[in-house]
Amino acid sequence: MPVIRLALAQMNAVVGGFSQNVETVGRFRTQSALAGVDLVVSPELALTGYPPEDLLLKEGFIESTNVALIEMALLQNVPPVLIGTVVNESFGGIELAPSSDGRDVTRALIDAVGPAHIANAFVALSDDGVVATATKRLLPNYDVFDELRYFHAGVGPHTIVNVQGVAVGLLICEDVWTSAGPALELARQGATLLVVANASPYARGRREEREAMLRERALETNCPIAYVNLVGGQDELVFDGQSVVVNQFGDVIARASAFTEELLVCDIEARASDIGAVLVSDYARDESRATAIPINHLAEPLSEVEEIYQALVMGTRDYLRKNGFRTAILGLSGGIDSSLVATIAVDAVGARAVRGFAMPSRYSSDHSLSDALDLARRLDIEITTLGIEDAHQAFTTTLSAVLGGEPEGLTDENLQSRIRGVLLMAVSNATGAIVLTTGNKSEMATGYSTLYGDSAGGFAVIKDVPKTLVYELCRYRNEVAVRDGDPEPIPTTVLVKAPSAELRPDQRDDQSLPPYEELDPLLSLYVEGDATAEEMIANGHDPELVLRITRLVDMSEYKRRQMPPGVRISKKAFGRDRRMPITNAFRPEKM
């Protein structure tokens, strides 16, 4: 059987960054030429970045996409490429070659659905320009995906291109996930190798799911499959890469690293075939195929906690970098949450770009300030102490005239948090630094947070991280430091003390919430598993506790809508993929 050398361009695309994306793909194609590669494969919508959302509704955006595709086609002495993009009525003047059955693929698409639609596409570019176009057949419209809002499903014959005597069938993300679907149809039509462009966001356990699915599809089609995935952060989403190639038996023969750009070069044995539009190139292929790039690199999978930590680091780094923020600031309370966020920020953008502020109040314990100072020393970041007592007293005096007495209870507790938020936002305005908030998923789920206080900021790093996982991530990061011979970044005193907001004397979180060891599993069932209170109670959970927690979650929706974006690491985060109405009369206890 012939051997085809593929290069999977696991790239960090920028939404709307056409020049950057063209440059990145061009760089990977140049590297591929030196490796004697037959075909370069990009991720889904690599040219536009993913997801472009309502930019797809702007005609100028589609025109810019076509211009970028023209630029891509002009690159010389490089291997052919399969590029993820969108297609509409025209390709901006690029000559369209016929498909294997003599039909103009794009024109057939337009005739079938009309010119007002666009499709999520995989375009085959060689020295002849656009040789073939594959369009996504199955459009996901669940979780974080809204593709029915923007795209029509692909129509017409499935697309096969011929590379060095191998019939390569083209698929896009969802198309490969369904049994007896587009993948099987391509195999029946004669494809002997399947390539899949993907923009598959990270979530816990996703790599294992992907590779299990690819094994099933390889056995179903009797074809090897090359799966290339995006990498990088885009708003709340983070893409983990981990592009992978399986043989016809479903065995993994190559895997790219997680959370890093990489050109994965792989030799794949596939059955010979003479069908499909031929992709040709005049680039000076090195017949010896000698290359400094490893062939069939097989990266070791990360542990789950390491995956999550790297996802948080990459999501934070890319949010700041892609939005033009050079520095970040945050409040350092001496608690576990702010300690983790500070550590992630330093790993993401470096110690010189992170600054902490300790803002003690009359209720702050001595160890809280000393723990914050110790953390800053270990991380080698600048820390400034801004006491809030004078501001607290001034607000108290002002409000007394309105309230008929000094503010008490939650009013006074929230006032302290809002004073801290005002100070951080003022520093942000003066310096251009982004404020990182430190709230975790357990707090956001139950409303255990202060609007315009600890929620004030531009990015919520651990928004999707339950409190129990916060501790696990901190212990993991300390273990990494010990392994590398570095000081542990997070002081032991932070890890062992009881969680507290310290907004009143001797306050502890478990005075307002159930212990996190009890709370987090129920939140996971209710929020991520969509279990009803009735189902949870039927499965043996305490009825009073279940109804208390579900009531807190339901009543806190208005708060969550006003929280900044943050990295999604679960299969259902508060944000794009959980869309509950704020005005909502349904309550579990009314079932």
The one catalytic residue among 173, 223, 266, 474? 173
* First-to-last C-alpha distance (Å) of the chain: 63
- Residue 132 backbone phi and psi in degrees, to 5: -160, 160
Distance of CA 514 to the CA centre of its chain: 31
| Active-site annotation holds for 441 | no
Separation of alpha carbons 564 and 330, rounded Å: 14
- The number of CA neighbours under 13 Å toward the Cβ of 252 is 18
- Helical residues (DSSP H) of 323-466, grouped into ranges: 336-349, 366-379, 389-403, 409-431, 441-446
Helix and strand numbers (H, E) in the chain are 18, 20
| Active-site annotation holds for 173 | yes
The one catalytic residue among 44, 147, 307, 413? 44
Separation of alpha carbons 356 and 359, rounded Å: 10
- The number of CA neighbours under 13 Å toward the Cβ of 523 is 28
- Residue 228 backbone phi and psi in degrees, to 5: -105, 135
Across the strands, what pairs with 84?
A: 122
- CB of 7 closer than 8 Å to CB of 28: yes
- Residue 520 backbone phi and psi in degrees, to 5: -65, -40
Give exposure, 302-316, as e/b (b: 16+ Cβ within 10 Å). beebbbbbbbbbbbb
Sequence-distant (6+) residues with CB within 8 A of 350 are: none
- Residue 178 backbone phi and psi in degrees, to 5: -100, 130
The one catalytic residue among 59, 71, 95, 136? 136
Return the structure tokens found at 252: 């993994």
| Active-site annotation holds for 136 | yes
Closest to 184 measured CA to CA, from 216, 147, 206: 216
Catalytic site residues?
Answer: 44, 136, 173
